Amino acid sequence: MSKLKIEDAMIRALELALNGPAKGVNPQVGAVILDSTGEILGEGFHKGSGTPHAEVVALGAALSGSQKLPSGSVAVVTLEPCNHTGKTGPCAQALIEAGVSKVVFASSDPGENSSGGANTLRAAGIEVESGMMSEKADEQLRVWLSSTKNQRPFVTLKWASSVDGRAAAEDGSSKWISGADSRADAHRRRSEVDAILVGTGTALIDDPELTARNTDGTLQESQPLRVVLGTRELPSNLRVFNSDAETVTIKTQSIHGALSELYERGVKHVLVEGGPTLASRFVQMDLVDEFVIYLAPKLLGGDKLAIGSIDVPSIDKAKGLVFKEVSKLGDDILIVAQPVREG
């Protein structure tokens, strides 16, 4: 097998991690086991909740029937090895029992129950190096890290609007503000999240399906949980209640309460597609972790804004954003941004 420097092994581990499911409770993690000369003994990635973690998969390949790894072996992992027993055992203990000499990981685990693997390894006399390529790993794990740290789903707020910020014309018509390329991108993003959330107002007025569809209108393989938030009664014949995907209604006005309920259901990433009232509330409460905005080359005027009041009394109180991506989608502009937060 090929021989790698530890930095190259981390690059390989980050590549392996992306083979795991992007959705779900558990993070995407990759692991590579090297001997003392840099030869790859084994590698692996996590295939999802209930399956062996990346370190255990890599150890299985590396041990190949043996009880212990060769002296001087190094485990290179994208996330700090876990230190708790859930559906599988603690990876830190598995590495100790396998006789690994050194563990190098990129991102630290912020989990209340799962963190502490590095300390356990050090206590067992194993050399530990943390933070290698952490910036890249943190970006790759950003949804899971944020959700785990904040104990709520990572929130993406999405809207499509004209250049002057209108989501609809004066008569209320809004199909279609954005072009076909933008709509295809929006459906792709739907397929990549755990849940999509709207308020009862949007459910009643727009009657959306909230499914992820291909350009020909067929359903994509992966569908988000459809969530309708609010206390108004909804007729059962709304399209959001069809059999194309699972739907839950959360009868509360509390956004914090709704996010807590979704987190308890295992939702790590929620896409908010509600109207301006719901969007404004999420922004006011500083609960948006990512903005996805499609700007169409149109002017509509009027008062049908994509987002309502967010309690910004003066320009010096404006809520700052960092543009992470600005690109063309057909005739439209896609902006992906993150809020500026202190600390």
Report d(CA 46, CA 96) in Å as an integer.
Answer: 19
| Residue 50 φ/ψ region, left for φ over 0, alpha for ψ in the -120 to 50 degree band, beta for the rest | left
Alpha-carbon distance of 201 to 266, in angstroms, equals 26
The yes-or-no answer on residue 55 being catalytic is yes
Active-site pick, 15, 39, 43, 55: 55
The three state secondary structure string of 264-301 is HCCCCEEEECCCHHHHHHHHHCCCCCEEEEEEECCCCC
Is residue 195 within 8 Å of residue 267, measured between CB atoms? yes
Report helix, strand or coil for 17: helix
278, two tokens: 């719901």
Question: Which helix (H) or strand (E) segment is 263 a member of?
Answer: helix 255-264
Q: Which residues are catalytic, by number? A: 55
